[in-house]
Amino acid sequence: MDASTLQLIILPAGLIAVLFALYLARDVLARDTGTPEMQAVAGTIFEGAVAFIRRQYTTIAILAVVGAVVIGIVITVVETPEVADVPKLAGSPIGIMTAVAFIVGAICSMASGIIGMYISVKANVRTASAARRSLVEAVQVAMRGGAVSGFLVVALSLLGVWGIFTAYSTFIGDVTVAEAPFLIVGFGFGASFVALFAQLGGGIYTKAADVGSDLVGKVEKGIPEDDPRNAGVVADLVGDNVGDCAGRGADLFESTAAENIGAMILGVGVYAIAASAGWPNPEAWIFFPLVVRAFGLLATIVAIFFVRGKETEDPMNMLNRGYWVTTLLSVVGLAITTAVMMDTNGTVGEAFGLPTWVYFFAAGIVGLATSVAFVYITQFYTAGSYRPVREIAEASKTGPATNIISGTAVGFETTAVTAITIGIALFVSHWLGDQAGLVSVDGRNVGGIFGTAVATMGMLMTTAYILAMDTFGPITDNAGGIAEFSRAEAGAREITDRLDAVGNTTKALTKGYAIASASLAAFLLFSAYIDKINLIQTRRIEAGIPGAELLEAVNLANVNVFIAALLAAMLVYFFSSLAIRAVGKTAQSIIVEVRRQFREMPGIMDYTQRPDYARVVDITTKAALREMVAPGLVAVGTPIVVGILLGYEAVAGMLMVGTIAGVLLATVLNNGGGAWDNAKKYIESGQLKDDQGTVLGKGSEAHAAAVVGDTVGDPFKDTAGPSLHVLVKLLATITLVLAPLFIR
């Protein structure tokens, strides 16, 4: 088998993943939908989620169309033959192609979010129904429902990038395989643009509803979570779908799309080396990221059938079993891909004298190992079985203040292992790539950078399974709410509570995975930005333009670079402030409304009056859509303004420091919020005791303190933190698309 034959796997793998997702969807939808009461609650959640998504994505679509037009005009004006990626297409052709790629990326990203939400709201009631019969069945229904989203999101990303790449390199006159990757960067920008607003809007909605309903219901009225007497509970359940499912689906779609394109751009450098050296199939280095992704999808299909176990088993062990199968099969796929596609006619590397492909196979293993590391790092910091969560629960005995202090300390602590793990992964993968001996005509060793790209691709091989685990979280959360709301039997609620605690951990580990992939990808996309700048500068040098020079290094002593770096760090915190404040303001409106209903409708407490759920849903919807715009525009506008005012080298400094600050702050917010949430769950499960051995469970002062801590952590882990993942990659994709604008 040669590389050209192996490349043919891309389209079939994407289509097989789509067909398998449809099979899983059919399996889930064929399951029992439970009691009439369960079906009524699920129908209300579905209506609220669809109404929000329709209004949100209409707003996002309008913004995306405006963005595409502006980008098309800007690229048409600034991409003259002297600076264009493909000089023969300079001007309006490249402007139109970039705008089209932006729109296609935006549409695919929106589809990913909608698919994730739709399947989730259909799987939740079936999971609640399954919990009345069996823990294992409930796990399988929720996981298969999540897997539909995982497969479709990753398959859409793979097919979208492959499709637009093939269209541009096949149907546009004289565009070579080496030029096409630069023409599709708009696809990644469109995906990032939509993902940012989807994650912000959904995150604001879900956490404002969660905070508002919890504080009034649990703390003030002393009623259980998801109690039907709480007017905010339906908005809370809707929020699980529009935030954790739709938002995360769009987030991971843009991750895979942008990182594929960035790796393909870096592959162009190796393509030139392969072509000049006479290696077979030099274009294989460009297609490599797509082939690796295809093998990852096939590995995940097999792994889904391993999600099974015993009724007495910890549900997390069932999910981990499938994850390990995905990882091990991905190693096999990675070995096949590197061995076949990195044929260098027997060339060996500098260290140990091994074939070139072995070094990149090892770099891919580093990426997979980083994925595994972050799964378990996040479990350590956010699962009730380990020290951090128990520490926060213990601190709750002395009130909300010590709970918050302890949770904040845990969040800050997580940055150490995060930074060290990412640093090791980058260092080792870069060193392995260096040893492969890929030296360009001008004497540059491009293997190190490509090694980090291969590590990123290796890490992302498990994306479909990770996203399935992530969507498992809101499905089980909703299932628990439906069971409580419909007053299901105690056994069903006990199972959904166990699954909800596991779901909190899976949602947290997905965020850890997302921020780790964002870190590796940001370095990859930063390198792609440097490559694009140097491509433009080479054209300017050849045209004899004064002052044109290659960007060999980013000089932090340059005042413009330092200012841009300072602004990048500011942007991360200011953006987070806007997102968290939006949750707070919206939650205040919900608290006022829920209190009003309890006060003016006294029959709510004895079930003789039905709360006005629709009123709270409407308040939350309007507020979330209004509040998502400001932080989104700040995120998009800041790098453009910095680039225009301070220049292309300053933008490089902004990318570096913005990535570092964004990754560390997101780690604090994600893990701190997840630990607070599970500390509350730890207490609710009856595991916290006082010095006399008395259980401090629901209704205790420690529980009230934990609820306060959980509400503080809610906008951290589900609004600002996940939105920072997108921000980090948006900085890279927007500057990659608009690089010619920053050169003067």
**pLDDT level of residue 192 (50, 70, 90 thresholds):** confident
Q: What is the dihedral of CA 743, 729, 622, 214, to 10 degrees?
A: -150
- Above 80 in pLDDT, residue 521? no
Q: What angle do CA 512, 577, 519 make, to 5 degrees?
A: 30
- Above 90 in pLDDT, residue 282? no
How much is the average pLDDT of 98-115? 88
Q: What is the pLDDT of residues 482-503, one digit of tens each?
A: 888 788 787 888 888 888 878 8
Instruction: Give the DSSP letter string of 157-216.
Output: HHHHHHHHHHHHHHHSTT--TTTHHHHSHHHHHHHHHHHHHHHHHHHHHHHHHHHHHHII
Predicted confidence at residue 432, as pLDDT, reads 93
Predicted confidence at residue 575, as pLDDT, reads 93
Q: What phi, psi does 546 have (nearest 5°)?
A: -60, 140
Distance CA 202, CA 245 (A): 9
How much is the average pLDDT of 215-231? 82
| pTM, to two decimals | 0.86
How much is the average pLDDT of 602-630? 86
Predicted confidence at residue 503, as pLDDT, reads 83
- Above 80 in pLDDT, residue 171? no
**pLDDT level of residue 176 (50, 70, 90 thresholds):** confident
Q: Print the SS3 string covering 295-328.
A: HHHHHHHHHHCCCCCCCCCCHHHHHHHHHHHHHH
How much is the average pLDDT of 605-632? 86
Question: Considering the chain, what percentage of its residues have pLDDT values greater than 70?
Answer: 100
Residues 6+ apart with CB under 8 A from 626: none
**pLDDT level of residue 1 (50, 70, 90 thresholds):** low
- Above 80 in pLDDT, residue 351? no
How much is the average pLDDT of 681-707? 87
Predicted confidence at residue 115, as pLDDT, reads 79
Q: What is the pLDDT of residues 709-735, one digit of tens each?
A: 998 998 998 889 888 888 888 888 888
Closest CA to 277 of 347, 210, 379: 347
Contact 149, 119 (CB under 8 A): yes
Among 164-178, 358-372, 402-416, name the one with the lowest average pLDDT.
164-178
Domain count within the chain: 1
Instruction: Give one word for 346, left, alpha or beta, with left for phi > 0 and alpha for psi -120 to 50.
Output: left
- Above 90 in pLDDT, residue 405? yes
Dihedral sign from CA coordinates of 41, 46, 49, 54 = negative
Comparing 108 with 173, the larger pLDDT belongs to 108
Question: Considering the chain, what percentage of its residues have pLDDT values greater than 90?
Answer: 30
Predicted confidence at residue 383, as pLDDT, reads 80
Chain-wide mean pLDDT for the chain?
87
Q: What is the pLDDT of residues 535-591, one digit of tens each?
A: 888 888 887 888 788 888 888 889 999 999 999 999 999 999 999 999 999 989 999
Q: Which residues pair with 689 in a beta bridge?
A: 695
- Above 90 in pLDDT, residue 664? yes
Domain that holds residue 480: 3-742
Report how far Cα 460 is from the mean position of its chain's Cα atoms.
11
Comparing 484 with 403, the larger pLDDT belongs to 403
Residue 70 CB neighbour total at 10 angstroms? 12
Comparing 446 with 67, the larger pLDDT belongs to 67
Dihedral sign from CA coordinates of 658, 659, 663, 664 = negative
How much is the average pLDDT of 385-389? 90
Instruction: Give the DSSP letter string of 501-535.
Output: HHHHHHHHHHHHHHHHHHHHHHHHHHHHHHHHHHH
Q: What are the tokens at 445?
A: 């060793």
Q: Which residues pair with 439 in a beta bridge?
A: 445
Distance CA 569, CA 665 (A): 10
Report how far Cα 465 is from the mean position of its chain's Cα atoms.
13
**pLDDT level of residue 173 (50, 70, 90 thresholds):** low
- Please report which helix (H) or strand (E) contains residue 682, including its range: helix 648-684
Rg (CA), the chain: 25
**pLDDT level of residue 310 (50, 70, 90 thresholds):** confident
Q: Is 613 exposed, middle or buried (0-12, 13-18, 19+ CB in 10 A)?
A: buried
Among 245-259, 266-280, 318-332, 648-662, name the one with the lowest average pLDDT.
245-259
How much is the average pLDDT of 415-442? 89
- Which amino acid makes up residue 341? M
- Above 90 in pLDDT, residue 303? yes
